[in-house]
Amino acid sequence: MITGTRISRLLGLASAALLLMMGCGAEGGSGRDMDDRFVVLGPSLVELMFTCGLGDRVVGVDRYSQWPPKVESLPRVGGYVDPSLEAIVELSPTSIHVSGENATLAELASQLGIPCYRYDFDSLDGFYEALDSLASRYGAGAEAYLERLNHTLDSLRSRFERLRPVSVMVAVYHEPGSSSMTVAGKGTFYDGLLNAVGCNLSAPGTGTWPEISAEGVLDLDPDHVVLLFPDARDSSFVRETEVEFWESLGFGKERVHCLFEPFIMIPGGRMDMIAERICSCLL
């Protein structure tokens, strides 16, 4: 909850920041258009904003966002769970954009008299809704990316149509050698992507990100196992260890794939690249 005293102090900061920027000229001395000043929280959303050509309107981002490189020069406003309200107000945003629900940011936006838009990236449907929202408010850039993404998915689907249905298990966390792992479940964006290209996600019947044992994987018997290691420091060691582990369970190495790209777990402005990278393991 934002207290009345804190609200008054924050609104005072906002007024002072706005007056300072007005004194610096129409673009606030930074080359950005004063008409739109976005504070954006959530790596997926930040990536999508830049991919859709809205990067010049972004004046502040969360501490976790790292791509594209231009993000590194932007002010940080904390996390989307623990945002710095003072840092946000000092940027004089015209709108706040956040991944997921955040009552504190919604209340702050209300007090500032600006909109707070929320987006859901848990599923592919949510991702498409985010794109539609950006397209309806800000135009052609989001529409162009939507067209490019759909073209990529359609192209991949045409390649799988010549094959029997391929089942894929996606492990988002597996300690090398461990007998259990966390996998993508039904309803996740991985599920949506695989369905979009004509494949099937192999996962337990319940749970968005369920933990599953090696025995559980054997029961599912996926055609391919794709393991994600976006933070791995020694990819050769990880790959060798995983192949050895899965071969001990009866999976040939041609069915085991390790991906190390950081973007592979961020359903944002590189969704088409995620689909292409996963499918490159299966074809």
Q: How confident is the model at residue 29 (pLDDT cuts 50, 70, 90)?
A: very low
CATH of domain 142-282: 3.40.50.1980
Nearest to 282 by CA among 242, 254, 253: 254
Least confident interval from 6-20, 76-90, 173-187, 207-221: 6-20
Beta strands in 62-165 (DSSP E): 95-99, 116-119
Give dist(CA 94, CA 117) in Å, integer: 11
Cα dihedral sign, 39-43-47-48: negative
- Per-residue pLDDT, averaged over 216-223, amounts to 96
pTM of the model: 0.87
State residue 163's pLDDT score.
81
Domains 4-119 and 142-282 share a fold: yes
CB 177 within 8 Å of CB 241 = yes
- Per-residue pLDDT, averaged over 22-46, amounts to 68
Q: Residue 115: phi, psi to the nearest 5?
A: -75, 150
State residue 145's pLDDT score.
94
CATH 1.10.1370.30 fits 4-119, yes or no: no
* Maximum mean pLDDT: which of 3-12, 47-56, 157-166: 47-56
Q: What are the pLDDT digits (tens) for 63-112?
A: 999 999 999 999 999 998 899 999 999 999 999 999 999 999 999 999 99
Q: What are the pLDDT digits (tens) for 133-153?
A: 999 999 879 999 999 999 999
State residue 16's pLDDT score.
46
CB 11 within 8 Å of CB 112 = yes
More confident call, 237 vs 22: 237
Q: What are the pLDDT digits (tens) for 221-269?
A: 999 999 999 999 999 999 999 999 999 999 999 999 999 999 999 999 9
pLDDT above 70: residue 7: no
State residue 3's pLDDT score.
55
Instruction: Give percent above pLDDT 90 in the chain.
Output: 81
Task: Parse the chain into domains and list their residue ranges.
Answer: 4-119, 142-282
State residue 4's pLDDT score.
53
Average pLDDT in the chain: 89
Q: How confident is the model at residue 12 (pLDDT cuts 50, 70, 90)?
A: low
CB 227 within 8 Å of CB 168 = no
CB 103 within 8 Å of CB 168 = no
Token pair of 281, please? 């393991």
pLDDT above 60: residue 23: no
